[in-house]
Structure 1
Amino acid sequence: MHTTLIDATTLAQHLTDPDWVILDCRHDLLNPDFGRHVFAEGHIQNAQFANIDSDLSGPKSGADGVFRGRHPLPERARLVETLRAWGISEGTQVVAYDAHGGMYAARLWWLLRWIGHDAVAVLDGGLAAWSAAGQPLVTPVAARPRGDIAEKPALVRTVNVADLVQNLASARYQVVDARANDRFRGENETIDPVGGHIPGARNRFFKDNLQADGRFKDAATLQQELAPIVGAPGQAVMQCGSGVTACHNLLALEVAGMGGAALYPGSWSEWCADRTRPIATGPA
């Protein structure tokens, strides 16, 4: 069972394994049609397409009309139905990949753990590593029989916006923001019209988890780099712009043997939507 990362060579050995499901999570925040378009042009054999916006996220506003962020978590029951449609069952090994070193695939990794399924891994290095290993892409989309995965107790934790408002006074959690440094400082209005970060947060750009070739750094290096930023994982909260790339830091923590941190799903997009919440700018 693979529960964090998997290399291209190992994945290539299981392309036709009926107990393995491969999901393509390629996405572009500024071009919602990008993922589906490039999937049609070529993907790993027997892969299916997982859309960040419609499959791996819920409605941006709740039943009360309150904005929940750009990529809120989907309802658990709806997510289970989506996973079954992809052919995922209790004994299925799931592999997620993207073109960005895991920045989107990690969201699917976290969601599977959220509904209690731990046999899920991210292709280390994504499609770049796949191509570097001499593996081809195909265009046919294979049909799979429906799966029977069932919802189980979550293997991960979440906090909500009320928890983090309270944290401003209690300092119970160390908040770690996965956005790029300029976004964290409040200097990128293209992506974040309201710039800055939650007061007291630290910055760990998710790409800092990767080597130059797009693969994750080794466990010892990640532990050495993350420990001073995260502190005690059980008292840490990972966030980003909308709860997607924060999962990359959560995956890196698991690789480093530092599991236990929580996700703030609404992240910056939810926090800054209410102008009564305080905002900090500049470096941490």
Structure 2
Amino acid sequence: MTYSTLITADALGRQRDDSWVLLDCRFELTDIEAGHRDYLTGHLEGAHYAHLDRDLSGPIEPGVTGRHPLPDSMRFRTLVASWGITPDTQVVAYDQGHGAFAARAWWLLRYHGHAKVAVLNGGLAAAREAGLPLSKAVPVRATGTYPNADPLVRATVADDILGSLAEGTAPALVDARANERYRGLVEPLDPVAGHIPTARNRHFQANLDDSGRFRPADDLRADFLAFGLPEKQVHYCGSGVTAAHNLLAMEAAGLSGASLYPGSWSEWITDPSRPVESEG
């Protein structure tokens, strides 16, 4: 069986074999080495560590990019191969629980044409509950380059959004940040508060139930269809990370075709000529 959206800890424990690759994506925005430290103290057996800043993002260009620009494609495909991933490999990404950082890895792999990638529903917390074995051993890396492949997901750039706003044909923009950041009442990470004009708010945490697992597909489907047809939606957040969580939730609900604006808010505000709306 192939997993391309979510996988439960029980299914992972039953069906995983030696060909599967696990990616530990734990991360803290306020302490960028915390995730790696936690990985070294114990991770799912055989998992490689994927660092948000170093592995799942490219270099920041001040005044040009957001906080987590997409990595160079060749560099990323070489990294993917070093994790032992081939086009036939089942990949499972996980983080501490909410799935936001794992969703970034999920989206990036799909952006590079890899279909067999899923996020562990409930993350490491769910794995521990299921009794999956942990290890401190760091797996040996391979060599090679993952083959170039067509993207399985869509990406949108700032100029496309700006042009559509000027023409009055803007897509259904969906902001995945917390409501107070969307409204511009607080901004703990970026120098400008607010949101892109016409955007509506859908905090990524709304995809989860009280246990930290994704809500039922029918509920997610109804929520996201309220924004219009999937192919008309463009999702963004602060830096292109948590918006991928919304896209994962949509795919899990059977809604394909929505686009990610990878640069997101932190890139949008690098150009002061781009319009901003704020209640602050």
Does TM, scored on the shorter chain, surpass 0.5? yes
For 1:5 and 1:145, how far apart are their aligned partners in 2?
26
Deviations 1:200-224 (A, max 9, x none): 0010000000111011011101011
> 1:37 corresponds to which residue?
37
Match of 1:116 among 113, 134, 146: 113
For 1:106 and 1:47, how far apart are their aligned partners in 2?
16
> 1:106 corresponds to which residue?
103
SS class of match (2:265) = helix
> 1:213 corresponds to which residue?
211
SS class of match (1:55) = coil
For 1:24 and 1:125, how far apart are their aligned partners in 2?
13
What is the letter of the counterpart of residue 271 of structure 2?
A: D
Is contact 2:102-2:119 (8 Å) kept?
yes
1:5 is the counterpart of 2:44: no
Deviations 1:240-281 (A, max 9, x none): 000011100000110111110111010000111222211112
For 1:2 and 1:147, how far apart are their aligned partners in 2?
24
> 1:22 corresponds to which residue?
22
What is the letter of the counterpart of residue 179 of structure 1?
A: R
> 2:196 corresponds to which residue?
198
Match of 1:130 among 124, 127, 131: 127
SS class of match (1:257) = coil
Deviations 1:143-188 (A, max 9, x none): 2544653121111111111011112123231110100111111122
For 2:82 and 2:101, how far apart are their aligned partners in 1?
20
Alpha-carbon distance change, 57 to 210 in structure 1, aligned in 2, over 3 angstroms: same
For 1:237 and 1:190, how far apart are their aligned partners in 2?
23
Match of 1:226 among 224, 245, 263: 224
Q: What residue ranges of structure 1 are gaps of 5+ in the alignment? A: none
Is contact 1:177-1:240 (8 Å) kept?
yes
Is contact 1:89-1:147 (8 Å) kept?
no
The Cα shift of 1:225 comes to: 1.4
Is contact 1:19-1:93 (8 Å) kept?
yes
What is the letter of the counterpart of residue 172 of structure 1?
A: A
SS class of match (1:104) = helix
> 1:48 corresponds to which residue?
48
> 2:58 corresponds to which residue?
58
Is contact 1:183-1:192 (8 Å) kept?
no
- Equivalent pairs counted in the alignment come to 278
What is the letter of the counterpart of residue 13 of structure 1?
A: R
What is the letter of the counterpart of residue 222 of structure 2?
A: Q
1:271 is the counterpart of 2:263: no
What is the letter of the counterpart of residue 204 of structure 2?
A: F
Over the aligned positions, Cα root-mean-square deviation in angstroms equals 1.6
Which TM-score applies when normalising by structure 2? 0.95
Deviating 4+ runs (over 3 angstroms)? 144-148
For 2:20 and 2:215, how far apart are their aligned partners in 1?
26
For 2:120 and 2:189, how far apart are their aligned partners in 1?
27
Is contact 1:72-1:242 (8 Å) kept?
yes
